[in-house]
Amino acid sequence: MLRRQARERREYLQRRAREQQQQRQRERKESLRRALDENRLLPTELRREALALQKELEFDFQAPGGTGDSQDDEYRWAGLEPPKVMVTTSRDPSARLRLFAKELCLLLPGARRMNRGRAELGALVAACRAAGVTDLLVLHETRGRPDGLTVSHLPHGPTAHFTLSGAVLRQEVGGLGGAPLAAPHLLLLRLDSTLGKRVGTILKHLFPVPRPDSRRVVTFANEDDVILVRNHVYRRRGRTVELEEVGPRFQLRPYLIRLGTLEQGDAADVEWRWHPYTATAPKRRLLSAT
């Protein structure tokens, strides 16, 4: 079992490295094509290999109805079957963290909650792999206040780490009926940069494909690189639409994305890391293109 997992992980990394190399080659060809079409000077980094790239351009063609981009291998089969999400907490959780984990399972249709107990991360991830779990969510807290969320996609990654703030439970929202269990429609607002699309891909594949008549909406809205998570149900009354928040409500901010799974820790490659102490950090917008 361990040898097979190591082999699958090695083959996955090789496929990903090959796809990244092909993507860089396509970007160089596209830059050369634009320079030739606009009759301007070639970029400095392309001048040595311009003739070789131009010969390759003669044999390149766009497949009918395709974009030519390689498919993300991590979520290649997402959507064919409903995801199996497992939610757990850090060790010795408080009553509020246990309740928040239970309500997070209500937010994610089909998610199941598991008591952490004394289980190590390695044993936890191995058990999830054996059970066919697609995503493992681990909640963290500080003095009884939920303040962290880790999303690990199985079997090979990625693993995204978020700071969690402003957690409001369902009973604290007020005016609620029963918890809706239907798969929701998703709204991803202002997650249009490269990093924003990556984070949006990680979050949206925690949910199954909804039915067209579903009356539930989960919103991930980006405001100043903070993702606001809201859960609503709506109903039509004639020409008007009534919207009711059913909770829970919280905010997420990504700070680390690794290419491996949770138990690999620092051994996994870092895809992206938040650097808050650089001079340009207050001016940048990471999750949105504008």
Tell me what pLDDT residue 38 has. 83
Torsional class of 265: left (φ above 0), alpha (ψ -120 to 50), beta (otherwise): left
Out of 30-34, 155-159, 172-176, 200-204, least confident range: 172-176
> Which has more confidence, 39 or 162?
162
Task: State the architecture of 75-273 in CATH terms.
Answer: 3-Layer(aba) Sandwich (3.40)
What are φ and ψ of residue 90, in 5° steps? -70, 175
For residue 230, the tally of other CB atoms under 10 A from its CB is: 18
53-62's contacts with Cβ under 8 Å and 24+ in sequence apart are 53/28, 53/29, 56/29, 57/29, 57/32, 57/33, 60/29
How many CA atoms lie less than 13 Å away from 77 in the CB half-sphere?
A: 7
Residue 72: pLDDT over 90: no
Could you tell me if 198 and 151 are in contact, meaning their C-beta atoms sit under 8 angstroms apart?
no
Residue 88: pLDDT over 90: yes
pLDDT tens readout for residues 126-139: 999 999 999 999 99
pLDDT tens readout for residues 223-280: 989 999 999 998 888 888 888 888 899 999 999 999 889 998 888 889 999 988 776 6
For residue 259, the tally of other CB atoms under 10 A from its CB is: 19
pTM of the model: 0.79
Tell me what pLDDT residue 281 has. 60
Look up tokens 């917008």; give the residue: 285
Look up tokens 């996955």; give the residue: 12
Give span(s): CATH 3.40.50.10480, the chain.
75-273
> Which has more confidence, 278 or 185?
185
Residue 70: pLDDT over 60: no
State the Cα–Cα distance between residues 186 and 216, nearest whole angstrom.
9
Q: Which of 73, 220, 253 is nearest to 158 (CA)?
A: 73
Q: 35-56 burial, b for 16+ CB within 10 Å, e for fewer?
A: eeeeeeeeeeeeeeeeeebeee
